[in-house]
Amino acid sequence: MTAEMGPIASSPREEIALGWIQRLQDPAFDGWPELSEWLAEDEENAVLFDKLCIADRAVAEELEDSPAPRRRVWPERDETSDSRGRRTTERLWMVAAALVFLITILFMLVILPGMRPDPRDQPTTISSSLH
């Protein structure tokens, strides 16, 4: 068992034993007196601890013998005509979305500013109350 995984215990005694097994995985483990005391408290503690250590070792060996399969980043490609047509349609939608985005940017940066009236072109009226 690794430190990242939580133990799945069916009894409090089993939970304690799994906790000891997890702590033993740490290279800096220094709780030998406490572990020895817990094992000596009850013969069932020692039997359960041995049983779980054997199971832990078997699982560790199994994992070493058969490493996890390599995950693929992309799922395998389906090369049927339907899937090729679907991919082509998806690409067309992406191209269309990119074009709409570029046209919107062009409109906002180039055309829209030119559509504002120039304040210099508007006649200035002087209010009669100022005279």
pLDDT string in tens for the chain (131-residue length): 444 555 566 888 999 999 999 999 999 999 999 999 999 999 999 999 999 999 999 988 888 887 777 776 666 666 777 777 778 888 999 999 999 999 999 988 888 777 777 667 666 666 555 55
Residues 6+ apart with CB under 8 A from 18: 1, 7, 9, 52
The answer to whether 49 and 16 have CB atoms below 8 angstroms apart is no
pLDDT value for 46:
94
pLDDT at site 9: 65
Residue-level pLDDT at 126: 62
Calculate the CA dihedral of residues 21, 26, 29, 33 and round it to 10 degrees. 0
